[in-house]
């Protein structure tokens, strides 16, 4: 006989495990995003989430064995501890790496920028809006964190643009230091001419890019007359995004111009209220164009891509199913494994849809991950309400995934443990 039931303590502990997994994942993202490969990053993220959620579910069932019964706790809970790491951590670790590999392959047509031109306003007004020259420090930090194989150029501009650093390889730290040294020697002066600065940036990309994907990051606190359509047309034709950063003193007209330049080229616009925020904005722009991961934002034309939307929901559904299967393995109950696997797939699908919707809002990505992780943990714990499990006393066969033994007379057999699982005596 099958029956729908739920362990309330397991539900509570699963939520705690999901929250702990989220916290561990955020520490990992904050410290390693940008320096660790996205494949390893997502492998560790989902491995930790699976391990902590599985650990809390195992503790809950040991304290209150509502699903497996007291016989399981007395005889086989120790086996659950042995299976916890391989089932809940290693399996999710491998799956996270595999799914991130596929997600990051760019099969939907997306290609990360390989050549980046930094276009920095050096007009006299920057003496007031950026007195500490945070824009220079931000540019230096960005150059230092760029992956090997990227190329960077620097254009400074007032009414006359200057190619401070031609597009160059950034394979070694010495090459990065060379670019940074050039950034330290200018003094803000003059007026603003954004159109001429963009023309020089495009010329630099055209001259040496050789089919590589390009991107422009422009920061300014001023306004100048720009024929927007004429200025952005060549960028659109070549698929080059212009990401713009407006300083706190930017006028309404300047803000509108910077937004237009970004929107018309599928770039992004960022307004900052304090010069100290420039470094964080530069890093965000770079990371969004460096390579996306399953728990992060997307940008540009692929922000609303149905391909990546479908892929994210599908992979989170599969990860949820594997988390459910891991619980079935830990509890050594094939009916629970079925229930948790199906419920986990539903949980992952809901979590993926929720994460996708939240990321499109572009607000507090970490909170979106929290909602997704808690949704995954909550629905997974309630799986036994969705899919009925075998009641104690049913004699239709063993619930065990792997246990076997001999009956008292010496013949092979299964003996009910009074819990909905059948064990050896």
Report the range of poorest mean pLDDT among 254-263, 347-356, 369-378.
254-263
pLDDT tens-digit series, residues 23-75 = 999 999 988 876 677 899 999 999 999 999 999 999 999 999 888 888 888 88
Contact 316, 299 (CB under 8 A): no
* Token representation of residue 35: 């320096």
Beta bridge partners of 219: 120, 245
Q: For the residues 188-214, what does the mean pLDDT come to?
A: 84
Query: What is the reported pLDDT for 112?
Result: 73
* Token representation of residue 105: 């392959």
pLDDT tens-digit series, residues 366-415 = 999 999 999 999 999 999 887 776 665 544 445 666 654 444 333 333 43
Q: For the residues 7-20, what does the mean pLDDT come to?
A: 96
Residue bearing the bigger pLDDT, 30 or 15: 15
Q: How many helices (H) and strands (E) does the chain have?
A: 16, 12
Q: Scanning the structure block, which residue is given the tokens 């890019």?
A: 209
Q: For residue 105, count other CB atoms closer than 10 A to its CB.
A: 10
% of the chain exceeding 70 in pLDDT: 84
As a whole number of angstroms, the distance between CA 217 and CA 258 comes to 11
Query: What is the reported pLDDT for 189?
Result: 83
Contacts for 93 with CB less than 8 Å, ≥ 6 apart: 43, 44, 46, 47, 50
As a whole number of angstroms, the distance between CA 57 and CA 412 comes to 32
Q: For the residues 176-184, what does the mean pLDDT come to?
A: 79
* CB-neighbour burial class of residue 181 (10 A; exposed 0-12, middle 13-18, buried 19+): exposed
Report the range of poorest mean pLDDT among 166-180, 287-301, 305-319, 321-335.
287-301
Q: For the residues 173-202, what does the mean pLDDT come to?
A: 83
Buried-state track 386-395, b at ≥16 Cβ within 10 A, e below 16: ebebbebeee
Is residue 424 pLDDT above 50, yes or no? Answer: no
Query: What is the reported pLDDT for 353?
Result: 95
> Per CATH, is 115-291 categorized as 3.90.79.10?
no
Hey, where are the domains in the chain?
2-106+305-423, 115-291
Q: For residue 184, count other CB atoms closer than 10 A to its CB.
A: 10
pLDDT range class, residue 249, cuts 50, 70, 90: low
Contact 163, 152 (CB under 8 A): no
Query: What is the reported pLDDT for 135?
Result: 85
pLDDT tens-digit series, residues 352-374 = 999 999 988 877 889 999 999 99
Q: Scanning the structure block, which residue is given the tokens 């491995």?
A: 47
Is residue 122 pLDDT above 80, yes or no? Answer: yes
Q: What angle do CA 358, 33, 94 make, to 5 degrees?
A: 85
Contact 245, 230 (CB under 8 A): no
pLDDT tens-digit series, residues 137-161 = 888 888 888 877 788 889 999 888 9
What Rg value do the Cα atoms of the chain yield, rounded? 28
As a whole number of angstroms, the distance between CA 404 and CA 53 comes to 28
pLDDT range class, residue 96, cuts 50, 70, 90: very high
Q: For the residues 109-124, what does the mean pLDDT come to?
A: 82
As a whole number of angstroms, the distance between CA 190 and CA 196 comes to 14
Q: Select, from the ranges 90-94, 307-311, 398-402, the one with the highest average predicted confidence (pLDDT).
A: 90-94
Q: What is the mean pLDDT of the chain?
A: 83
Query: What is the reported pLDDT for 334?
Result: 86
How long a stretch of residues is the chain?
425
Report the range of poorest mean pLDDT among 72-86, 89-103, 183-197, 356-370.
183-197
pTM strictly above 0.85: no
Beta bridge partners of 406: 412
Q: For the residues 324-334, what does the mean pLDDT come to?
A: 92
Is residue 184 pLDDT above 50, yes or no? Answer: yes
Query: What is the reported pLDDT for 173?
Result: 81
Beta bridge partners of 117: 153, 216
Is residue 192 pLDDT above 70, yes or no? Answer: yes
Q: For residue 402, count other CB atoms closer than 10 A to its CB.
A: 10
Is residue 261 pLDDT above 70, yes or no? Answer: yes
Is residue 1 pLDDT above 70, yes or no? Answer: no
**Coil vs helix vs strand at 312:** helix
Q: For residue 5, count other CB atoms closer than 10 A to its CB.
A: 12
């Amino acid at each position: 006989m099958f029956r729908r039931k739920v362990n309330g303590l397991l539900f509570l502990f699963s939520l705690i495990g999901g929250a702990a997994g989220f916290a561990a994942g955020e520490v990992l993202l904050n410290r390693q995003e940008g320096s660790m490969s996205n494949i390893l990053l997502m492998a560790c993220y989902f491995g930790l989430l699976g391990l902590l959620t599985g650990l809390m579910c195992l503790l809950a069932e040991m304290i209150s064995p509502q699903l497996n019964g007291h016989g399981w706790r007395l005889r086989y809970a120790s086996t659950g501890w042995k299976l916890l790491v391989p089932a809940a951590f290693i399996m999710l670790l491998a799956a996270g790496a595999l799914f991130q590999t596929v997600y990051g392959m760019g099969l939907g047509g997306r290609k990360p920028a390989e050549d980046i031109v930094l276009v920095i306003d050096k007009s006299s007004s920057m003496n007031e809006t950026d007195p500490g020259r945070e824009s220079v420090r931000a540019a230096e930090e960005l150059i230092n964190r760029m992956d090997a194989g990227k190329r960077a150029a620097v254009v400074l501009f007032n009414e006359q643009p200057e190619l401070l650093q031609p597009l160059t390889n950034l394979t070694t730290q010495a090459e990065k230091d060379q670019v940074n040294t050039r950034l330290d020697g200018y003094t803000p002066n003059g007026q603003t001419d954004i159109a001429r600065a963009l023309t020089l940036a495009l010329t630099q990309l055209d001259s040496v890019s050789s089919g590589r994907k390009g991107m422009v990051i422009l920061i300014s606190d001023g306004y100048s007359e720009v024929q927007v359509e004429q200025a952005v047309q060549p960028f659109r034709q070549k698929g080059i995004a212009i990401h713009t950063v407006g300083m706190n003193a930017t006028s309404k007209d300047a803000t509108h111009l910077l937004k237009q330049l970004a929107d018309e080229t599928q770039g992004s616009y960022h307004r900052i209220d304090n010069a100290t925020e420039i470094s964080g904005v530069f890093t965000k722009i770079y990371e969004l164009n460096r390579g996306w991961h399953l728990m992060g934002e997307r940008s540009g034309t692929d922000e609303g891509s149905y391909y990546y939307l479908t892929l994210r929901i599908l992979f989170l559904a599969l990860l949820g199913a594997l988390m459910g299967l891991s619980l079935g393995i830990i509890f050594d109950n094939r009916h629970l494994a079925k229930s948790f696997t199906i419920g986990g797939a539903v949980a992952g699908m809901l979590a993926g849809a929720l994460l996708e919707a939240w990321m499109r809002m572009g607000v507090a990505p970490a909170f979106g991950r929290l909602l997704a992780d808690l949704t995954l943990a909550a629905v997974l714990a309630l799986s036994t309400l969705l899919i009925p499990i075998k009641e104690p006393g049913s004699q239709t066969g063993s619930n065990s995934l792997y246990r076997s033994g001999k009956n008292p007379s010496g013949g092979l057999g299964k003996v009910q443990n009074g819990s909905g699982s059948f064990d050896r005596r």
